[in-house]
């Protein structure tokens, strides 16, 4: 609402002439009496007040409405009273207005030149919320029911200054006879509407002055100006309070969000003083919030954390790695420090620090990186006594956080078991796998332990965490542990013992908490005896040993797994699930499956693709299965008289089976060169599995 000066004079409702702009000071007693007399006539006749030249038009309309409402102009106690409960609710509802306006009213009331003023605060319906006046005035006004809880609307008491200012939404000064009720007609009242930010009227402020026997003078004019500026002041204060209230609410919401997140947050001012710390950050530092707030950040954390740099440059720092040590723990965090800038991007108030547990990030990274542990004990297929016992043992072991060594031929499902153990013991943490045989020896160390920035040629600029760090909070699966270079073994052992890792080129240990599951298809203990594997590391890793049975000793499971793979593969490829011919079934059951489940799975991929007319026949099996001399293992050699050539051929085939078709291992065992072995494959028509 605009209450500029022009509007102000426009808003004055006076009694001298029909011109609304005339100041009250110009009202003379003659007009005053003219209105008074006319009102008595108007009440008892049907005369239209709009037609009276001395009547203000808005007042005239209000009189007509008042009459229509049936207001009794001769009543002594004005208006009706709200019932106490309803009034308490109203007060509650208008708490902010009352709390804001009352101190103003009290403060400025005494500044007024005359003491015959009476001040009223109403709500937007005209209900009186608060009154103030000197003893004499108060008593007089009390007698006419000018007290909190009285409903003084146009409907209940007819035309008044405040009823008009609500109706017209502007300040109104009203000469006594214009009031509809006779008991008010010796007063001069000034009223201003109080509006909220959206322009809605939320109340009125009224100053009433008893003018009976007094001259109309400048003070009345001033009282309007005075009530208007007070209205302004109340509105401004209300807006401020509302904004404060909104800010407080925003602050409460922010606090609630910050205490709900499981990351630590600290805010600092531009001098590095901690201004706020959320619950999680207090937990990280093992302190109580009041012990931290208002302290310099260096009292809480290492000076090396580059807070000063952010405060100086206004540039953020992301993922700074630091170990936070408190009385109870030592944990690695990634810290992001963001400067608090203003809208134009100038550096302003300070900085916000965020502490994220690196193991969480690692878990995300590893999940995204594809080394997610999907298998559980329930998803391991097998009904044989051998596999059931293995699963039972593995479940037991999974409940104890000690190193576990999984032993078994290639393709028996060692990784599957490792995943199942992980998911049964620390499913929330990352599962990080490292195959020691598939990584060049010179890279194993950095893969395992990570490295600091610039620690060797080709290293990433910012350095990188190793698999051990990435496994923090979860499981590190070291597959083919027999291939772990002997020179790295003592470092790994130290790390397993101390639960700390030192990155290559680094100068501080990073605390880590991870479970180790190692796997091997080699005879690791034999390697220890041959000095190819360190005994201390072996005993550290093999606290629990689990032997995964080869497929050939899981007779009952071969057909179960065959069916499972055929169905899975067909479904994946959108094919009808083929049946197995009788001789194929016999072959599969009797074959020794040197490559175990992996070989069976691959054989079924081949067979499903080769099958015709919904049937898998012998021809649809891979060569090495068709050509298998099932009953020709070396034990039976003694029963037959064989040529040297046949003996050599069988020796090669058996060794191949034994090594899971690993050419290098086969050549090793047969003590011949790899080139010779390949030549013999050709010579004897031996085909390696695809
Ligand atoms: N019980 C089982 N149920 C379903 N699939 C299985 C089962 N056991 C193994 N497999 C499947 O067989 C394959 C080989 O398993 P896995 O890689 O765990 O063997 P491994 O012993 O770790 O082999 P390697 O020693 O060569 O690393 C995988 O494709 C796996 O999904």
- 88 C-alpha to ligand 1 centroid (Å): 75
Give the mutation target among 379, 410, 416, 420 for probing the ligand 1 site: most ligand atoms within 8 A of CB. Answer: 416
For the CA of 415, the nearest atom of ligand 1:
18
Model pLDDT, residue 643: 66
User: How many residues are listed for the chain in this entry?
Assistant: 690
Model pLDDT, residue 113: 52
- 496 C-alpha to ligand 1 centroid (Å): 27
* 344: its two tokens: 């134009």
Which stretch of DSSP H or E encloses residue 317? strand 317-325
Burial of 583 (0-12, 13-18, 19+ CB in 10 A): exposed
| CA-closest residue to ligand 1 atom 25 | 410
Whether the per-residue pLDDT at 656 is higher than 50: the answer is yes
Any residues with CB less than 8 A from the CB of 612 and at least 6 apart, and which?
A: 620
Max CA distance (Å), the chain: 151
Give the mutation target among 386, 394, 415 for probing the ligand 1 site: most ligand atoms within 8 A of CB. Answer: 415
Model pLDDT, residue 25: 41
| Torsion 337-341-347-350 (CA) sign | negative
pLDDT band at 556 (very low <50, low <70, confident <90, very high): confident
- Please say whether the beta carbons of 69 and 154 come within 8 A: yes
SS3 360: helix
Whether the per-residue pLDDT at 456 is higher than 60: the answer is no
Contacts 24+ apart (CB under 8 A), 368-374: 371/430, 371/431, 371/432, 371/433, 372/431, 373/418, 373/419, 373/420, 373/422, 373/423, 373/427, 373/431, 373/475, 374/419
For the CA of 379, the nearest atom of ligand 1:
3
| CA-closest residue to ligand 1 atom 30 | 413
Summarised one tens digit per residue, pLDDT across range 230-269 is 899 899 988 888 888 888 888 888 877 877 788 899 999 9
- Which of 30, 85, 375 lies closest to 216 in space, CA to CA? 30
For the segment 97-110, the average pLDDT, to the nearest whole number, is 86
What is the distance between the alpha carbons of residues 511 and 473, in angstroms, rounded to a whole number?
11
Which stretch of DSSP H or E encloses residue 192? strand 187-195
Give the mutation target among 597, 599, 603, 689 for probing the ligand 1 site: most ligand atoms within 8 A of CB. Answer: 597
For the CA of 375, the nearest atom of ligand 1:
31
| CA-closest residue to ligand 1 atom 6 | 413
Q: Note whether ipTM > 0.90 here.
A: yes
Q: Is the pTM of this model over 0.90?
A: no
- 411 C-alpha to ligand 1 centroid (Å): 5
Summarised one tens digit per residue, pLDDT across range 339-396 is 888 777 676 678 999 998 876 666 555 554 446 788 999 989 999 999 999 999 999 9
For the CA of 564, the nearest atom of ligand 1:
4
For the segment 515-527, the average pLDDT, to the nearest whole number, is 93
Whether the per-residue pLDDT at 203 is higher than 90: the answer is yes
Model pLDDT, residue 27: 63
Q: What share of the chain is helix, strand, coil (3-state, %, to 5)?
A: 50, 20, 35
- Which of 618, 623, 620 lies closest to 609 in space, CA to CA? 620
Least confident of 6-10, 319-323, 503-507, 665-669: 6-10
- Please say whether the beta carbons of 455 and 505 come within 8 A: yes
Q: Mind listing the domains of the chain with CATH numbers?
A: 5-241 (3.30.450.40), 261-358 (3.30.450.20), 371-547 (3.40.50.300), 580-683 (no CATH)
CA distances from 462 to 314, 323, 357, 445, 452 (A): 21, 17, 18, 18, 7
| CA-closest residue to ligand 1 atom 24 | 410
| CA-closest residue to ligand 1 atom 10 | 413
For the segment 121-131, the average pLDDT, to the nearest whole number, is 94
pLDDT band at 324 (very low <50, low <70, confident <90, very high): confident
- Which of 420, 395, 418 lies closest to 407 in space, CA to CA? 418
DSSP secondary structure letters along 616-674: E-GGGS-HHHHT--TT-SGGGGGGS---HHHHHHHHHHHHHHHTTS-HHHHHHHHT--H
HSE (side-chain half, CA atoms, 13 Å) at 413: 27
pLDDT band at 516 (very low <50, low <70, confident <90, very high): very high
Give the mutation target among 411, 482, 547 for probing the ligand 1 site: most ligand atoms within 8 A of CB. Answer: 411
- Which of 630, 650, 623, 635 lies closest to 586 in space, CA to CA? 630
For the CA of 412, the nearest atom of ligand 1:
21
Distance, C-alpha 323 to centroid of its chain: 24
Pocket of ligand 1 (CB under 6 A): 380-382, 408, 410-416, 479, 519, 521, 597-598, 601
| CA-closest residue to ligand 1 atom 23 | 411
């Amino acid at each position: 609402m605009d209450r500029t000066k022009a509007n102000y004079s426009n808003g004055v409702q006076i009694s001298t002439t029909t011109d609304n702009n005339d100041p009250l000071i110009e009202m003379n007693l003659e007009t005053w009496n003219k209105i008074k007399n006319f009102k008595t006539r108007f009440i008892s006749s049907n005369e239209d007040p709009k037609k009276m030249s001395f009547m203000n038009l808005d007042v005239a309309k209000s009189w007509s409405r008042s009459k229509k409402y049936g207001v009794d102009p001769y009543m002594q106690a004005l208006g009706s009273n709200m019932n106490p409960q309803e009034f308490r609710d109203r007060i509650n509802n208008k708490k902010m207005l009352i709390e804001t306006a009352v101190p103003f009213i009290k403060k400025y009331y005494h500044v007024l030149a005359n003491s015959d003023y009476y001040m009223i605060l109403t709500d937007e319906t005209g209900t009186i919320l608060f009154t103030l006046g000197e003893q004499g005035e108060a008593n007089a006004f009390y007698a006419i029911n000018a007290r909190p809880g009285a409903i003084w609307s146009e409907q209940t008491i007819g035309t008044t200054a405040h009823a008009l200012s609500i109706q017209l939404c502007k300040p109104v000064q009203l000469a006594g006879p214009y009031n509809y009720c006779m008991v008010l007609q010796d007063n001069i009242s000034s009223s201003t509407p109080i509006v909220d930010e959206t322009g809605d009227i939320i109340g009125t402020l009224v100053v009433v002055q008893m003018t009976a026997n007094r001259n109309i003078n400048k003070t009345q004019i001033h009282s309007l100006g005075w009530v208007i500026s007070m209205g302004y002041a109340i509105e401004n204060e209300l807006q401020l309070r509302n904004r404060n209230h909104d800010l407080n609410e925003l602050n409460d919401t922010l606090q609630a969000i910050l205490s709900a997140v499981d990351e630590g947050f600290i805010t600092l001012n531009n001098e590095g003083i901690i201004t706020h710390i959320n619950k999680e950050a207090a937990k990280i530092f093992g302190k109580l919030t009041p012990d931290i707030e208002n302290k310099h950040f260096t009292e809480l954390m290492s000076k090396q954390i580059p807070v000063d740099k952010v405060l100086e440059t206004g540039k953020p720092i992301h993922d700074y790695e630091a170990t936070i040590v408190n009385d109870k723990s030592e944990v690695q965090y990634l810290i992001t420090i963001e400067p608090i800038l203003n809208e134009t991007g100038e550096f302003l108030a300070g900085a916000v620090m965020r502490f994220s547990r690196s193991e969480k990030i690692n878990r995300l990274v590893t999940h995204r990186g594809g080394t997610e542990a999907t298998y559980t004990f329930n998803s391991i297929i097998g009904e044989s006594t051998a596999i059931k016992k293995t699963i039972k043992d593995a479940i037991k072991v999974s409940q104890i956080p000690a190193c576990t060594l999984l032993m078994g031929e290639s393709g028996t499902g060692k990784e599957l078991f490792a995943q199942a153990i992980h998911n049964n013991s620390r499913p929330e943490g990352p599962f990080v796998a490292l195959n020691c045989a598939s990584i060049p020896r010179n890279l194993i160390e950095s893969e395992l332990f990570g490295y600091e920035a610039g620690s060797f040629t080709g290293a990433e600029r910012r350095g990188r965490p190793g698999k051990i760090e990435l496994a923090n909070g979860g499981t590190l699966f070291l597959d083919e542990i027999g291939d772990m270079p002997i020179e790295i073994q003592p470092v790994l052992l130290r790390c397993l013992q101390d639960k700390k890792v030192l990155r290559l080129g680094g100068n501080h240990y990073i605390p880590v908490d991870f479970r180790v599951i190692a796997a091997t298809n080699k005879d690791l203990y034999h390697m220890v005896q041959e000095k190819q594997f360190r005994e201390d590391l072996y005993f550290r890793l093999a606290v629990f040993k689990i032997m995964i049975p080869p497929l050939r000793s899981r007779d009952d499971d071969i057909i179960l797994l065959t069916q499972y793979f055929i169905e899975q593969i067909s479904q994946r490829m959108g094919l009808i699930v083929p049946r197995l011919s009788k001789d194929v079934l016999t072959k599969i059951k009797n074959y020794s499956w040197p490559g175990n489940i992996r070989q069976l799975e691959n054989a079924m991929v081949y067979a499903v693709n080769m099958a015709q007319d919904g049937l898998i026949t012998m021809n649809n099996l891979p060569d090495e299965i068709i050509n298998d001399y099932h009953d020709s293992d070396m034990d039976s050699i003694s029963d037959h008289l064989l040529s040297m050539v046949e003996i050599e051929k069988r020796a090669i085939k058996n060794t191949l089976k034994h090594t899971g078709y690993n050419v290098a291992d086969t050549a090793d065992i047969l003590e011949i060169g790899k080139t010779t072995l390949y030549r013999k494959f050709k010579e004897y028509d031996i085909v390696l599995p695809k």
